[in-house]
Amino acid sequence: MIAVESLALGIDPNTPLSVADMVECTRLAESRNFAATWVAEGRRGDVFALLTALALNTRRIQLGAGIVPVLVRSPWVVAMGTAVVDEVSQRRFMLGLGAGHKTVIEDRHGLRYDRPSQRMREMTEIVRRALTGDIVTFNGEIFKLKEAQLCVPPVRRDVPIYIAGIGPRVLELGGEVGDGVFLIFATERSIRSAMSQVRAGAKRAKRDPREIDVVSYIFTCIATDRQAAVRASRKTIAYFGRLEHYRNLFTQEGFAKEVALLKEAWAQNDATRATQAVSDEMVATLSASGSADDVAGRIKVLLDAGLKQAVIFPFAADGSAKEAITTTIEALSS
């Protein structure tokens, strides 16, 4: 059995759900005692706006921005968004910071992809200082602020901040300055590695690494037909394999051969070949797919490996995105 308090709901950055559907799914997760709902930011909408809608329609569940790309907002904009959502939610907000993807930052936002780790470090410090309500003057390598101050004292100065990433440098940064680190496509190996890197960063900052959570998105597909779930997961993994960031992650997990085929397929914009390049072993390693018992078993393995919170990212073998979410919540909390 899985302790439902170690589960959270993740909402796709490009979800087709309406805001009303997101509210309904989050309220279901709350009723089943899930710990949190994390909303990823992509092409669906501004994450602070979406979380405000969820905050106004729930009472207990924690609400996380997972994640805010640090290269598309100033630290002060992030501090203001954090303060407002934390106020509206009555101290239930969690802030996740990540680099985002080079192609997305440059092609979609038209901005430079420059020194993401240093930006996360400085943004974390600025947000924390802003949440004290005090005047902030900051002279960093990237950001320089002079006598900035929120006009209303925030309701909480210790909003948890999670640092998202997969590389050793950013995970060590999480150990230095974060309240947690946020992984994706977690495996037993990557969880152990992340914990080691968090410890290294915490040691350098003279912090207790046991106080730093390791959480991760878990791509989840439940179906009565196990092979249908595997096929859906294969397609999902292939989709993420478009981006170099994820191909590097897959290579770290020992799938260099599959990565080469993925890269070649996407270079030709061939989604069919890309899906075929994803092996059954990749699906078993990088997702929780199959029957409800299969999925629960895989999540338990990851929690036992040291994951503090499994943020399920449900997708459908068939049917609607909303149905996939509600079915998964009900199956894992029954």
pLDDT in tens, 23-77: 999 999 999 999 999 999 887 889 999 999 999 999 999 999 999 999 888 999 9
Do 158 and 285 lie in a common domain? no
Q: Give the pLDDT band of residue 253 (cuts 50, 70, 90).
A: very high
Question: How does strand 62-69 pair with strand 93-98?
Answer: parallel
Report the 3 state secondary structure along 174-208.
Answer: HHHHCCEEEEECCCHHHHHHHHHHHHHHHHHCCCC
User: What is the percentage of the chain residues whose pLDDT exceeds 70?
Assistant: 98
Please give the pLDDT value at position 43.
Answer: 76
The number of C-alpha atoms within 13 Å of 230 and in the hemisphere containing its C-beta is 13
Give mean pLDDT, residues 241-268: 95
Domain of 58, CATH number, reads: 3.20.20.30
Q: What phi and psi values does residue 41 have, to the nearest 5 degrees?
A: -105, 125
Please give the pLDDT value at position 121.
Answer: 96
Contact indicator for 333, 4 with CB cutoff of 8 Å: yes
Q: Count of CB atoms within 10 A of residue 276's CB?
A: 14
pLDDT at 104 over 90: no
Do 314 and 277 lie in a common domain? no
Do 58 and 88 lie in a common domain? yes
Do 25 and 143 lie in a common domain? yes
Least confident of 83-87, 108-112, 183-187: 108-112
Q: Give the pLDDT band of residue 99 (cuts 50, 70, 90).
A: confident
What is the rounded CA–CA span in Å between residue 97 and residue 178? 10
Do 251 and 214 lie in a common domain? no
Give mean pLDDT, residues 104-116: 75
Do 238 and 183 lie in a common domain? no
Give mean pLDDT, residues 6-15: 92
Do 261 and 130 lie in a common domain? no
Amino acid, res. 333: S
Do 191 and 310 lie in a common domain? yes
Q: What is the mean pLDDT of the chain?
A: 94
pLDDT at 100 over 80: no
Please give the pLDDT value at position 3.
Answer: 86
Please give the pLDDT value at position 129.
Answer: 98
What is the rounded CA–CA span in Å between residue 307 and residue 181? 10
**Whole-prediction pTM:** 0.94
pLDDT at 12 over 90: no
Contact indicator for 105, 113 with CB cutoff of 8 Å: yes
Please give the pLDDT value at position 113.
Answer: 72
Do 84 and 173 lie in a common domain? yes
Q: Give the pLDDT band of residue 15 (cuts 50, 70, 90).
A: confident
Q: Give the pLDDT band of residue 226 (cuts 50, 70, 90).
A: very high
Condensed to tens digits (0 to 9), the pLDDT of residues 277-321 reads 999 999 999 999 999 999 999 999 999 999 999 999 999 888 788
Q: Which domain holds residue 262?
A: 225-289
Please give the pLDDT value at position 111.
Answer: 62
Give mean pLDDT, residues 237-254: 94
What is the rounded CA–CA span in Å between residue 238 and residue 262? 7
pLDDT at 120 over 70: yes
What is the rounded CA–CA span in Å between residue 282 and residue 83? 40
Do 188 and 264 lie in a common domain? no
DSSP letter for 211, please: G
Do 140 and 176 lie in a common domain? yes
Do 175 and 255 lie in a common domain? no
Domain count, the chain: 2
Q: Give the pLDDT band of residue 274 (cuts 50, 70, 90).
A: very high
